[in-house]
Structure 1
Amino acid sequence: MARKIPQLIEQQVQFWSRKKNAEKGYHPPAKKLPIITVSREFGAKGAALATALGDEIQFKVWDKDLLSVISDEIGRSEQFIKALDETRRGLLEDTIFGFMNLRETNLNYLICLVKTVQALEKKGNNIVVGRGANYICENDSSFHIRVVCPLKNRIQAYAKKEGLPNGVAGEIVMAKDEERKSFVQYNFKRNVDHPGDYDLILNSNTYSIEQMVEMVIHAYELKTGVKLPRNHARKKALA
């Protein structure tokens, strides 16, 4: 039987906290702090920013861990849930899923996604990557980021990383962008490119990961009026 979402989240966070507490220089946040969401274009380094930011301010980063929680709650494998994740299926795929008596799974995924993000927002001290999380959050203090990068640069970087011709890489990058846009449009009736939906938009072609981390922290503190914790051990390691 699937466990309740708050229990799953609590177990994940406790595990993460025990691991972090064992690291030199780590000090757990003294109070609950507003959640951060990271929307990103494919290949714009949004996930890398979230990871670095989480390490610096000692927030738990939820990306692939979200799939673990949702798959456990729905009672399906993570591989199956990945097929639904940030993807809007076409009519043919919906029909196939219907014949498999799995038509309701897409709705179940969305329901669990909303419940999970809302639970993470309520708990605080979390960073959620993608999945339209900024449209799910209800607290005005929550902080929403979008990371962008010129298409040409993203294509070149992806082609180099995967060893692909630029033409093939371009098709993949644009398809991934469209999947994410369609997911948000279909489920939340919003356009991910609308600047008014974010507190801060960053161009990863202009700034390094560390520069973006500092910009996010500064903007977050200005909006929320709270001081974020800093991982001094990480700073020493980067120096």
Structure 2
Amino acid sequence: MNPTQPQGASDWLFPPGSDFVEQIRAAQGRLLSAEEPGYRPGQLTVCLSRETGSRGGTIARRVAQLLDWDYYDQEKLEYLAQEAHLEQELWLGLPAEARQWAEQHLQQLVAQRRLSDHPSIQRLAHALLAIGCRGRAVILGRGAGYVLPVASTLLVRVVAPMGDRIRYMSEFLRLTEEQARDYVYKTDRQRLEFVLTHFGIDPNEVHQYDLVLNSSLLGVEACAQVIVTAARYKQATLEQEEESEAEA
């Protein structure tokens, strides 16, 4: 059985009576108007979402290595969210406007039902925004791309055919084909439910991403190189926009 949306999630994502276009925009959370005027992160962050078994973690680590940027996975992010003093260290050296912007951004996300008010998710979001304000980071999963602003984020989705993903997990975890299939379906569903529940986003909707890459067709290295090229281009664009605003 394929992963399905949890019961009631569609009603939460698409409130009755809303205009269809606005429903789609709100659900995907990619409205430029949602970004607050004034301060914004000046450095890019790469956020990578992936299907189970698509080797997204390997690709994310390779991207961080090629760019020489910090790398954050689920374990590191949860540790940061639990240890307040570590999150505070991320804010050191950043202007006061950065923290103010982050608080306003979080409040707006919650008000727009694009972020859960659950304490653990709020702590995670604070840590993600601290990382995003510094930039020059690669973040794997945990809904990071749905929290950080569009302009300073490269949001990537890595996919692969189900058969390839099952075979990879079977080899990687030394599972039977049936066990690997169950693992892939279960993990895909858990990730889907996490993102739907706490960010109101369907991670399988491709139009919200800057890049969608098929790792079975491209391979790990090619995927990483494409992401690095796009990141460098978007970072250059971000810097040019800042220069233009400064001159205006």
> Under a length normalisation based on structure 1, what TM-score does the superposition of the two structures give?
0.65
How many angstroms does 1:226 deviate by?
A: 5.3
| Alignment size in residue pairs | 167
SS of residue matched to 1:206: helix
Question: Is the 2:157–2:213 contact (alpha carbons within 8 Å) kept by the matching residues of 1?
Answer: yes
* Structure 2 counterpart of 1:193: 204
How many angstroms does 1:222 deviate by?
A: 3.3
Name the aligned partner's letter for residue 165 of structure 2. R
How many angstroms does 1:71 deviate by?
A: 2.3
Percent identity over the alignment? 24
Q: Deviations over 1:152-189 (max 9, x none)?
A: 11111111222221111101110000000011111111
* Structure 2 counterpart of 1:207: 218
Q: Deviations over 1:21-72 (max 9, x none)?
A: xxxxxxxxxxx63111000111111111111111110110011211211222
Structure 1 unaligned residues grouped into runs of 5+? 1-31, 75-105, 228-239
Segment drifting more, 170-179 vs 139-148: 139-148
2:46 to 24, 36, 39: 36
* Structure 2 counterpart of 1:80: none
How many angstroms does 1:139 deviate by?
A: 4.5
2:151 is aligned with 1:140: yes
Question: Is the 2:192–2:202 contact (alpha carbons within 8 Å) kept by the matching residues of 1?
Answer: yes
* Structure 1 counterpart of 2:35: none
RMSD: 2.3
2:62 is aligned with 1:52: yes
* Structure 2 counterpart of 1:167: 178
Structure 2 unaligned residues grouped into runs of 5+? 1-41, 86-116, 239-248
Distance (Å, rounded) in 2 between the aligned partners of 1:196 and 1:123: 26
Segment drifting more, 122-131 vs 204-213: 204-213
2:188 is aligned with 1:180: no
* Structure 1 counterpart of 2:162: 151
> Under a length normalisation based on structure 2, what TM-score does the superposition of the two structures give?
0.63
How many angstroms does 1:133 deviate by?
A: 0.8
